Chain A
Amino acid sequence: DAKTTQPNSMESNEEEPVHLPCNHSTISGTDYIHWYRQLPSQGPEYVIHGLTSNVNNRMASLAIAEDRKSSTLILHRATLRDAAVYYCILFHPYSGGGADGLTFGKGTHLIIQP
């Protein structure tokens, strides 16, 4: 079962910042927070991930609450190409060296208005 909660959909205007929230109140100390997005007819695309500290990359920023029970994906300047379903997932590193499977929820359908 998915262990994250996200709004079903959000709408934003082009060239404005977008803040996508995610709640994960049952997160454990070793869980990483991953974000992926999926465009129609494509596989999910990795966006960003973090453990405790805020993270930035060329696609987005990830803000993690101090208690780690929630996080926010920030798209600084949305474009029409950012319209997609965004998934927030808890990633459990596997002590044996592999990695546990990711459990996806339904994600947030982000709509960008021109």
Chain B
Amino acid sequence: DAGVTQSPTHLIKTRGQQVTLRCSPKSGHDTVSWYQQALGQGPQFIFQYYEEEERQRGNFPDRFSGHQFPNYSSELNVNALLLGDSALYLCASSLARKGGSPLHFGNGTRLTVT
């Protein structure tokens, strides 16, 4: 049973460029959440997708956008990259239901902006 997979594992971009990160959820999961984790900090919630729609959003600018596909996989797009966007980007999947379904995380994409 494959867990959450993210690609690529590492990425180096230049300030001002755009980047797309990809996530495949755990088999059977239908909800995908994205997080940004700076060095030494806890993960910060970016947004969550369910039924191909953004359901919740954290305190991130519109430069951060996403998409969920019919097969539940998801993409995170970041436009006009800033040096401060350098971080580990984590994808987590879960099963949408009442009752606090646990999140399953991938190992993340390490983005470096130079």
- Alpha-carbon gap, A106 to B44, bound state (A): 10
Say yes or no for A21: interface residue by CB 8 A criterion.
no
Which stretch in A12-20, A74-82, A94-102 binds the other chain? A94-102
Contact across chains for B56 and A43 when beta carbons are under 8 A apart = no
Residues of A near B104 (CB, < 8 A) are 46
B10 to chain A, nearest CB (A): 11
Contact across chains for A44 and B105 when beta carbons are under 8 A apart = yes
The contact of B43 among A44, A98, A99, A100, by CB within 8 Å, is A44
Contact flag A97-B43 (CB < 8 Å), given A44-B105, A45-B105: no
Contact across chains for A46 and B41 when beta carbons are under 8 A apart = no
The contact of A101 among B42, B56, B107, by CB within 8 Å, is B56
Q: Specify which of A34, A51, A91 lies most central, judged by the most chain B CB atoms within 10 Å of its CB.
A: A91
Is the interface on chain A under 10, 10 to 19, 20 to 34, or 35 or more residues? 20 to 34
Chain B residues numbered 41-85 whose CB sits less than 8 Å from any CB in chain A: 41-45, 47-48, 50, 55-56, 58
Chain B's closest residue to A100 (CB) is B56
The interface bits of chain B over 20-32 (1 if a CB of A lies within 8 angstroms of the residue's CB, else 0) are: 0000000000010
Chain B's closest residue to A106 (CB) is B42
The contact of B102 among A49, A87, A100, A105, by CB within 8 Å, is A49
Say yes or no for A65: interface residue by CB 8 A criterion.
no
Contact flag A102-B31 (CB < 8 Å), given A44-B90, A97-B97: no
Contact across chains for B97 and A101 when beta carbons are under 8 A apart = no
The contact of B45 among A34, A41, A51, A101, by CB within 8 Å, is A101
Chain A residues numbered 69-114 whose CB sits less than 8 Å from any CB in chain B: 85, 87, 91, 93-107
- Alpha-carbon gap, A81 to B17, bound state (A): 39
Interface residues of A (CB under 8 A from B): 2, 32, 34, 36, 41-46, 49, 51, 85, 87, 91, 93-107
**New contact pairs (14) apart from A43-B107, A105-B42, CB-CB < 8 Å:** A34-B100, A42-B107, A43-B4, A44-B105, A46-B103, A46-B104, A93-B98, A94-B56, A99-B31, A99-B101, A100-B56, A102-B45, A104-B42, A104-B43
A-B contact pairs, 9 of them (CB 8 A): A42-B107, A43-B90, A43-B108, A94-B56, A98-B55, A99-B100, A100-B48, A101-B56, A104-B43
